[in-house]
Structure 1
Amino acid sequence: MIKVLRFSALFLCLCLICVSTASAKKYTQQECDKYYFSAQYDEAFQCISSMADEGDPQSQFNLAVLYHLGQGVEKNKEKTIYWLLRAAENQHPNAQFGVGAAYEAGFGVEKDLGIAAQWYTKAANQGHAAAQTNLGVMYGNGEGVQKNHIEALKWFRLAASSGSSKAKRNAELLSEHMSKEEIIEADAMAASWEPIVPQNAISLPNSSVHK
């Protein structure tokens, strides 16, 4: 088995970032930001949960983070997964990565590498570097998907182009086990790749790229 590096922490990229501009009846984006970044977590929870209930994907993701970290509310694994799934189904790439990591680790759900790969693919197709790296690992080792070194190298190249040093190292390690023709094919696939961004997708912030 090729020893490649994956992003193993479930909530590696589940850092609270600015909530979206979706309207709310009682709260505004600025209020939620102010509460959270001034460590007023009780108020932040009320604000974010209100916007999450109205269907705002970023707030749903943020609410999963609060339940995971126990900020403004008691830690709750089930509610973490619930809100993470809600955000992921609403095309939030960080949430899709988180759901993939949950299924890979068996965190709050039954471990299923096939489902993990499906969610990593959704996030990877939106340009999520950590998901691309983990998906590359799964293709490289045949975990949840059929082993395919060309596909693995493609995803490592894409993640590396976003600044991931782990993906860059993985590409180097994997290339040692591939023919010149296979490497050329993988590089051509990476060069022609374009992100698949759903209409209501959340734009990735710079902080989503982990080195």
Structure 2
Amino acid sequence: MSQTEKVSAKEYLAKCKKAAVKGNVIAQNTLGFLYLNGQGVDRDYTEAVRWFEQAAQQEYREAQYNLAIMYNLGQGTQQDKVQGAHWMKRAADYAYAPAQNALADLYYKGEGVELDYVLAYVYWELAEKNGVKDIEHKKSEILKKMSLEDIENANRLLKDVLLRKSDQLSGACRNYFEALKSKAQDVKDIGILYYKNLGLDEQTALIEIEKD
């Protein structure tokens, strides 16, 4: 199979399942998306949660983020804002910008966590530094509600995260990506399948699949 060969949704699903069962976190996360969106299979939120959780338990940050959303919305599982916040924080601590932004929202609203303007501000700052757009208006609004002490604490915490703990944070991220890389290297005769799915603009899903 060539790298750019397109396959039917059902064929893609079968290959994705094969890789997911073997523990491939990228495949598990993508399989969750297929069930979530009903591509190549009937829509099944419960199955989506199951596969997101398997990848999330292996510290795959995108899956942790997706699982958090499922818990927050109560899709495929009982709504549980505390569990949603738990998984959102796991993803955010891997420097996953969408999760940092979403976690800040949770701290700002006090959903699944205690309301905390300091942490909300810090995570919005981190999300912005990691590429999330349109954060400035959120920071502007929260600053109106923060005391001078809150602002000082937020800036001190942010400085601590960005400076003193930068090596620790970057090290965790390096370990994360090295773990994914080693998974791919351990599989012999890898076939790379690119498949534009889920209508995510120009993004593509990359699955490492053992050839038949």
Aligned CA distance change for structure 1 residues 34 and 41 (closer, same or farther; 3 Å)? farther
- For residues 80-119 of structure 1, the aligned pairs below 5 Å read 80-119=48-87
Q: Does 1:70 align with 2:42?
A: no
Name 1:60's counterpart in structure 2: 28
> Could you state the TM-score of these two structures normalised by the residue count of structure 2?
0.73
Name 2:112's counterpart in structure 1: 144
Q: Does 1:168 align with 2:136?
A: yes
Task: State the secondary structure of the residue aligned to 1:165.
Answer: coil
Name 1:50's counterpart in structure 2: 18
Distance 1:47 1:39 in 2: 10
Task: State the secondary structure of the residue aligned to 2:135.
Answer: helix
Task: State the secondary structure of the residue aligned to 2:18.
Answer: helix
Name 1:41's counterpart in structure 2: 9
Q: Does 1:158 align with 2:126?
A: yes
Q: Is the 8 A contact 1:61 1:84 kept in 2?
A: yes
Q: Which runs of no fewer than 5 residues in structure 2 stay unpaired?
A: 181-202, 204-212
Tell me the amino acid that sits aligned with residue 73 of structure 2.
A
Name 1:26's counterpart in structure 2: none
Distance 1:200 1:165 in 2: 25
Q: CA deviation at 1:183?
A: 1.8
Kindly report the root-mean-square deviation, in angstroms, between the aligned alpha carbons of the 2 structures.
2.2
Post-superposition Cα deviations, 1:121-174, rounded to whole Å, max 9, x if no partner, equal 000000111211121122122221111111111001101111212433211210
Q: Is the 8 A contact 2:108 2:115 kept in 1?
A: yes
Q: CA deviation at 1:103?
A: 1.0
Q: Does 1:134 align with 2:83?
A: no
Q: Between Structure 1 and Structure 2, whose CA radius of gyration is higher?
A: 2
* Structure with more of its chain in strand, by fraction: 2
Percent of counterpart pairs with the same letter? 24
Aligned CA distance change for structure 1 residues 144 and 60 (closer, same or farther; 3 Å)? same
Task: State the secondary structure of the residue aligned to 1:62.
Answer: helix
Q: How many aligned residue pairs are there?
A: 172
Name 1:24's counterpart in structure 2: none
Post-superposition Cα deviations, 1:84-112, rounded to whole Å, max 9, x if no partner, equal 11111111111101111111111111111
Aligned match of 2:90 in 97, 100, 122? 122
* Structure with more of its chain in helix, by fraction: 2
Name 2:145's counterpart in structure 1: 177
Task: State the secondary structure of the residue aligned to 2:23.
Answer: coil
Aligned CA distance change for structure 1 residues 146 and 170 (closer, same or farther; 3 Å)? same
Q: Is the 8 A contact 1:157 1:187 kept in 2?
A: no
Q: Is the 8 A contact 1:90 1:200 kept in 2?
A: no
Tell me the amino acid that sits aligned with residue 117 of structure 1.
A
Q: Is the 8 A contact 1:125 1:197 kept in 2?
A: no
